[in-house]
Amino acid sequence: MSSKIALIYENDNFLITVNDTVVDTEKDMETAIESYKQVIKNNSEKNNVQAKTWEEILEIMKDIDDSRLIINDEYKNIAFDTMRFFYNTGKLFYMNSNGMTELIGGISLFHLVADMVSRGKVTSSNDILEFCKAVLECKTAYGVSEDGILVASPAFNYGSVEYNFETGKIHKGTSIEKAGFSDYKTYVLSILKK
């Protein structure tokens, strides 16, 4: 483990720190211990096997020329609007007023969203992130490609439906139709929430 992780009791609070940076504060000791164990697990090397090195990820992100992209080389994390990707855990989080939601897709989803927003294919990162969150709440899987997002579920006629941001088309298995991302979101969620 390359990170220094500590559980500290100070001023009636339990602080969990990673490399002297506070990552969580708890009042209850049992909750603090559970949080501490989770931080250790998230930072352990066996759980942090990355398909790409940090340098490869930085190379991928070079094509996004947007002032909202913030790369923290010291702590190996990347931020864009309301997204945060943490290399050491390989996890992507959507940060909104309701809290911090872990999304699947890691750096691939991060790159797709940042790329589509910076090139004007979608108006806001929240458009895609809220959609991904809603899909997960329906206990359904999604995946990303270089220029699209696919939702897989037996609820769809051919098991999946995909939106391609480059072409602006929805692929429903037997048909492909020109539509906006909002049409795709409406279509997918109306079926998943039945």
What's the sign of the alpha-carbon dihedral 67, 68, 74, 77? Answer: negative
Model confidence at 2: pLDDT above 90: no
Question: pLDDT per residue over 22-81, tens digit each?
Answer: 667 788 888 878 777 777 766 554 444 446 889 999 998 998 989 999 999 999 999 999
Neighbour count for residue 112 (Cβ, 10 Å): 21
Average pLDDT over residues 134-152: 90
pLDDT score, position 51: 62
Percent above pLDDT 70 for the chain: 90
pLDDT score, position 45: 45
Got the DSSP string for the chain?
Answer: --S-EEEEEETTEEEEEETTEEEEEESSHHHHHHHHHHHHHHH-GGG---SS-HHHHHHHHTT---TTEEEETTTTEEEETTEEEETTTTEEEEEETTEEEEETTHHHHHHHHHHHHHTTSSS-HHHHHHHHHHHHHTT-EEEE-SSEEEEE-TTSTTSEEEEETTTTEEE-SS-EEE--HHHHHHHHHHHHT-
Question: pLDDT per residue over 86-121, tens digit each?
Answer: 998 889 999 988 789 999 889 999 999 999 999 999
pLDDT score, position 1: 40
